[in-house]
Structure 1
């Protein structure tokens, strides 16, 4: 299989790579960054929900951690290092395994037998992420209908399923067709995300203090349990980063890097800071309707408990313990 990858990589570049750089950049925005570019929909909010509060320490700590993670994992690891290790213009786990095997052959050494399973495992993880992340992104976006009215609650899952079915049906077409349609859509999304972020940051510039790594360190030292829990939300901010390397064969290294550095990276970072400002100065904005209902239910039960006579409270407490 690795031999097949090497022979395939020796072929001339496909027609899609002969397009001009601006067209490739636009296509990369729609195909490569459709995953990590939509992470701001849910990543920071989920971190605040997992922490259970929207205090300054938590919001600034989560925001600072996300910024550090994007800089280290995406910028340093993928953009500056991994994308340089293409195999004749191709990327991805299997292509990287073939590249490593060719290095062994040049030195007249036998490649480890575990090399192919490792490459296949990486490809399987990529396919798994490609199936799970769209569901999370679409469902998180459609859940915004609940903020308008709880009457839309029963429509959230059917609408999300309809959107996902349409997306996957459309994705069976060639990459050039998909990028031609989704490139402009994602361009509008990144512009809108950056505009909303700038609007919020201008209103509350104090949120820019999260650029300092001190907030992430302070959260980890002061509340290590919460810091560990919110790492799951931080990982959500990195989903789709592997596409920068996997899609080199479709768009090339240069267009992907330009799209990331000039459009995607500034937009998502500004968007995260805008969300951080919203969470800090509108604390209730991180609450989902279901969470608000549970909190209201607990408050109602607590009020009933406080208003009941002491004897009645002791009797109910005794009955609960006896169960």
Structure 2
């Protein structure tokens, strides 16, 4: 699963070590089993296409030679060892932000370490998040297509039905998202664990027949293959990276399962099963090079073909589900970090905060997945589009981890470079190899990423310009409070809440209310919502209240970037009587202007995003009958 994917599954989340204690062996093994289904769903479906596509790239679609088989299997094994095991399991997972992982957590951690000089970290985060979206669009399409394509081995008559059946599965998968994943998540772990065991047995059955493939553990085979096969070797190297897609999930889901369960699942089950399956595919191809058409399914006897296709389809649905849920989570975090406009977020569980559903993202994602499936029509065609997004994401992760190791862990720059640079170098080589496929599908994630980076940068820049313009117009809050209390303004009973983005300025809604309605409430709460660089803010630190005068109080509400802001609930928990509160919000009318700090085309893009954004009242969970909106025109 791609970077930053923050999957939330109540069936396993209720067993978090922080809630049940680290001492319970039952809890530990339940978390380990849960991580098999959620964390390793994506990387667990890579054997369906990784070796096949690598050898296709090396041989040009012909039967592979022995040198090709040994070389590609060796490259896959060492990619799993170096990138997944050493980099992610033993190094990257140390970079936890209050126990959480993933690209947004890493960005927040790096920004905290660098302070005001960390602007480039935010840009890297934008690129990483954007590449994740490209990856999230490709993963369901390539996974489901690769599983359903196994039907062609049963009989070529199924060939015309592969794409329609794949589309039906994908549409059904996205349609049920609004119901949440609580029920199906219960079965994710056991089904995926069974999938890994079956993969291991399939590979082992051929490995014992031709154990010479074990020589592929010697990295010399992979190096010799690259040195002697020129451009074909580089194309194969790009496809080899398909074997480690999903490695980012180890880090992204760390907060939900913990380091130890994820590491135990990888070292005890997932890595051995993947290695045995790839070795088995290689052993079979040494004896039967003609089986290159679909070496994964041909590992198994003919009587097991249909059951394996069914099991593979279920496994790919699980992998796709994790990506979809992760998309909702990373979108929520991007909104909280101010990188995307507000969108309606629905809770799909009354007990689990992490169970969310974002309708707009769900349907956009479905449209993009269906478009790609129809455009490329096969998993082989999509494979070329897959690698750039994944390798780009991993390069960004390595760069951010270097910053964290240097400035946050207080390693010397030389030590941080010595540890991180080898991984970064390997991933840059993979990225270069995938760049050769730019015209054959690699443009897809780059196009998606470029569009999203532009949108995120526009949103952040536009929001900053609007904040500066609002600050220019307003008067200091302390001066306004003093003038309002000493003047002859009528007082209305009750308490009014005015949201503000600046702690020192009087909110626009407050000034307009006094100016046009000539009234001031008996009690006024100036409310400032802050998103911290922590995943979740402890309840004792949630609310701070500063009394300005008898009629005015300044309230700061803090939320973590993984939390859904609920203003009435937070205020009620702090002791406020929320039943009779009236919330005053500013509805801005934005007008594009060439006089501002952005080009007009960016102004128009920002305005379009703002118009599509969810109302502040809905986003902050403010009851509709308690919200009052006051309009204000702003040139941008």
Q: TM-score, length-normalised on structure 2? A: 0.41
In angstroms, what is the RMSD of aligned CA positions? Answer: 1.8
Distance in 1, Cα, partners of 2:184 & 2:123: 31
Kindly indicate whether the alpha-carbon contact (under 8 Å) linking 1:193 and 1:268 is maintained by their aligned counterparts in 2: yes
Q: What is the alpha-carbon distance in structure 1 between the residues aligned to residue 231 and residue 239 of structure 2?
A: 14
Is 1:15 matched with 2:14? yes
Q: Does 1:130 pair with 2:140?
A: no
* Cα contact 1:28–1:179 (8 A) shared by 2: no
Decide whether aligned partners of structure 1 residues 228 and 197 sit closer, same or farther in structure 2, where only a CA change above 3 A counts.
same
Q: How far is the alpha carbon of 1:104 from its aligned partner?
A: 2.7
Tell whether 2:175 aligns with 1:200. no
Greater shift, 175-184 or 246-255, is seen at 175-184
Structure 2 equivalent of residue 103 of structure 1? 113
- Alpha-carbon spacing, 1:179–1:254, altered in 2? closer, same or farther (3 Å): farther
Considering only CA atoms, is the larger Rg found in Structure 1 or Structure 2?
A: 2
Q: Distance in 2 between matches of 1:127 and 1:274?
A: 33
Q: Find 1:229's aligned residue among 227, 235, 240.
A: 235
1:237 is paired with a residue of what secondary structure? helix
CA distance in 2, matches of 1:230, 1:163: 30
1:35 and 2:34 equivalent? no
Alignment partner, residue 71 of structure 1: 81
Match of 2:250 in 1: 244
Structure 1 segment 41-52 matched on structure 2, within 5 A: 41-52=48-59
Spell out the pairing of 1:39-188 with structure 2 (5 A cutoff): 39-52=46-59, 53-105=63-115, 110-170=116-176, 177-188=183-194
Distance, in Å, in 2 between the alignment partners of 1:242 and 1:41 is 19
Q: CA deviation at 1:167?
A: 3.2
Give 1:196 shift. Answer: 0.8
Distance 1:257 1:39 in 2: 19
What CA distance in whole angstroms lies between the structure 2 residues aligned with 1:137 and 1:218? 31
Preserved CA contact (<8 Å) 2:76 2:240? yes
State the Cα distance separating 1:163 from its structure 2 match: 2.1
Deviations 1:150-202 (A, max 9, x none): 11011101111222233334555656545312111101100000011111100
CA deviation after TM superposition for structure 1 residue 125, in Å: 1.9
CA distance in 2, matches of 1:139, 1:201: 27
Partner of 2:557: none
Structure number with higher strand proportion: 2
Query: Is the contact made by 1:134 and 1:164 (CA closer than 8 Å) also made in structure 2?
Result: yes
Aligned-pair CA distance for 1:139: 0.7
Q: Secondary structure at the match of 1:167?
A: helix
* Matched-pair contact (CA < 8 Å) for 1:40–1:272: yes
> Which runs of 5 or more structure 2 residues have no equivalent in the other structure?
1-12, 21-26, 295-636
Aligned in 2, Cα 1:77/1:143: closer, same or farther, shift over 3 Å? same
CA distance in 1, matches of 2:181, 2:117: 33
- Counterpart Cα distance in 1 of 2:186 and 2:156: 36
Higher RCO, Cα 8 Å, sep 6+: 1
Which residue pairs with 1:26 in the alignment?
A: 33
1:321 alignment partner in structure 2: none
Change (3 A) 1:74 1:173: farther
CA apart distance, 1:117 = 2.4
1:228 Cα offset (Å) = 0.5
What CA deviation, in whole Å up to 9, does each residue of 1:31-51 have, x standing for no partner?
A: 110101110111001111112
Give, in whole Å, the separation in 2 of the partners of 1:169 and 1:244.
Answer: 27
Match of 1:213 among 197, 205, 219: 219
2:259 aligns to what? 253
DSSP-derived class of the 1:203 partner: coil
Residue 238 of structure 1 deviates from its aligned partner by: 1.1
Q: CA deviation at 1:130?
A: 2.4
